[in-house]
Structure 1
Amino acid sequence: MAFRAYGEVQQRTAGPKEIELSLFRQITEALEAVAAVETPPLEAWADALYRNQQLWTIVATDLVNPDNTLPEETKRNLVSLSQFVRQCSNRVLAGNDGIADLIDINKSIIAGLSGIPVSTVTEEAA
């Protein structure tokens, strides 16, 4: 109950960038937790992938919104990246790929939103 109340307060006080950053961190942590286990529980594995796909769908939807003020090239690149995430997720679901690429992509986004070099974020994972 207290956690829910804290989440509601955070939603009212955090800006869009902070919320987006928090979501990317939470979902990336879930992907990393699944990747760290040789045979993760199917429910945790599916949930992590599903949440990541949801997040990227929301990001792509926001990017094509006419009110989005990002530069056009940035929007195009991120929409393309969201399509790659969808394709990569489908390969993972088919058993043809691991989730390392998804984790790396999310970490790059986290770095960008945080204003830190991508190499710093990926080195922390090593």
Structure 2
Amino acid sequence: MSVNAYVRTQKVAATPRSTEFRLMSEVTADMIAARDAGLTGAQLADALHRNRQVWGAFTTLCIDSGNALPHELRAGIISLGLWVDRHTSLVMTGRDTIDELINVNRTVMIGLANENGNPAPVG
């Protein structure tokens, strides 16, 4: 019963930015955990796939002409999404590390935190 109340409260209190922050925090934590577990290349597939899905969703939302974000911000998110897609392929094939993907996500989280009044991500 208390879990249902929590879920209802979260739905009412959640904003798009806070939801984006929480989602980005989760996928970034997954990537950090995978990296810290010593996984490399294709072993990172689960964490990388989820990150790629998130960035794909962000890109799709920014392509929509009804999106209210400023054009320059939308273009920047689309550009980052395309970079994430390319870099993910490099990481999957062992030609680069996951660290830059983690850094990009952390930077986005800092921006989202500043908008929400959330504490900045650590680590």
Fold match, TM over 0.5? yes
Aligned to 2:24: 24
Aligned positions, number: 117
> 2: CA distance between counterparts of 1:37 and 1:31?
10
Please, what is the CA RMSD of the aligned residues?
A: 2.5
Residues 6 and 21 from structure 1, CA distance in 2 versus in 1: closer, same or farther, beyond 3 angstroms?
farther
Would you identify which runs of 4 or more consecutive aligned residues in structure 1 move more than 2 Å? 5-13
For the structure 1 residues 39 and 70, does the alpha-carbon distance in structure 2 shift closer, same or farther, using more than 3 Å as the test?
A: closer
Output the TM-score relative to the length of structure 1: 0.81
- Equivalent AA in structure 2 for residue 83 of structure 1: L
Q: Give, as a single letter, the amino acid of the residue that structure 2 aligns with 1:73.
A: E
Gaps of 5+ in 1: none
Aligned residue in 1 for 2:82 = 83
5+ residue gaps, structure 2: none
The offset of 1:13, in angstroms, is: 3.5
What are the superposed Cα offsets for residues 65-104 of structure 1, whole Å, 9 maximum, x if unpaired? 1121111111111101100000000001111111000000
Give matches, 1:98-117, under 5 Å: 98-115=97-114
